[in-house]
Amino acid sequence: MIIGVPKEIKNNESRVSVTPAGVKELVANGHKVYVQHTAGEGSGFPDEDYVKAGAEILPTIEDTYAIAEMIVKVKEPIEPEYKLVKPGQIVFTYFHFASDRALTDAMIASKAVCIAYETVRDRQGALPLLVPMSEVAGRMSVQEGARFLEKPQGGKGKLMGGVPGVKPAKVLILGGGVVGRNAALMAAGLGADVTITDISLPTLRHIAEVMPKNVKTLFSSRHNIESELPTTDLVIGSVLIPGAKTPHLITRDMLKFMTPGTVLVDVAIDQGGCFETSVPTKHDAPIYEVDGIVHYAVANIPGAVPYTSTLALTNATLPYAVRIANMGWQKACQADKGLAEGVNIVDGKIHFKGVAEAFDLPFTPLAL
């Protein structure tokens, strides 16, 4: 199979979807890999490393899309790329369709095979291609939240861990999944007073057993969240409904319970956001204020640490990319029902129910 690795063109997105080690593995399996010029530079992988691994370098993104049977990316195609996607071409990347109608319509029109990292499942029902970036995003949410709690950044001027004689900042984490647990570990490590909420009692029991003593658990309900907000300094939204739009756990009306300078970090913004007042931001302008409350809603948080993120992501995605290249997407999905759940759109039809429901569009079960 001919595989194309384009350079990511989303704002401040420096990750790359395949490392030179990944190229070597694909070439060893008999495939041809084309990498766009400087695609790996932002993650620390120069063109010459790809050439040594067996790839050919192409000068433009147009050349890369034109030659490839399968495009492997990190982030969803953005508007300048829509016209480059070809009928029947496999596009293997994070899509997050349910939060982006324009992207959904464009990929339907392209008649491409769209396989989304974020909905692929393993044999245990987990989301193996979402986990690495969720780990990074969860840890970074605290790092960024701590920064924007500083007074010059618009926050309250609180140090996360406090000092002897001064109480630490209070952190409220909504959702006890991979993002939430990693955020809790980071916040606890900084010495913050951490509360993590979830609607699953088994999840809360597990968290209570494994987390440090400065992490407390709370059942997630509107009443409980509202009760926490007046004394909370940093709220991290980490709720996920795989492939579907995220519910709003904090509404515009609930902002009045918070004190000015409180920071909201919406890690769920890729799927529409779990704060009603969230709108996607970019790394070069990451925050805005609503009613005195600081909102951080960068849609590609892990893109700020591309070296770590690229290695973490490709560790997980490469085996799937090799399998698709070796077998073709249909046979690979027949052999792995979890991979089949990653197939969101094929030949203009939506095969993932969460995407169809998000936009009230027809859903077609995938037939392999």
Catalytic residue among 100, 198, 270, 336: 270
Report the alpha-carbon distance of residue 336 to residue 362 in Å, rounded: 25
Q: In the block, which residue shows the tokens 């890729």?
A: 270
Q: Which residues contact 223 (CB under 8 A, 6 or more apart)?
A: none
Catalytic residue among 96, 248, 295, 351: 96
CB-based contact 199:175 (threshold 8 Å): no
Question: Could you report how far apart the first and last alpha carbons of the chain are, in Å?
Answer: 20
* 349-350: strand order across its sheet: 56-58, 32-36, 2-5, 70-72, 90-93, 113-116, 343-346, 349-350
Sign of the torsion formed by the C-alpha atoms of 222, 225, 231 and 234: negative
Q: Count CA atoms closer than 13 A to 206's CA, side-chain side.
A: 11
Assign residue 12 a region (left: φ > 0; alpha: ψ between -120 and 50; beta: otherwise). Answer: left
96 noted as active-site residue: yes
Q: Are strands 343-346 and 349-350 parallel, antiparallel or unpaired?
A: antiparallel
283 noted as active-site residue: no
Which runs of consecutive H residues, i.e. helices, occur in the chain?
20-28, 47-53, 61-67, 79-82, 101-110, 131-148, 178-189, 201-210, 222-228, 306-327, 329-335, 337-340, 353-359
Q: Which residues are catalytic?
A: 96, 270
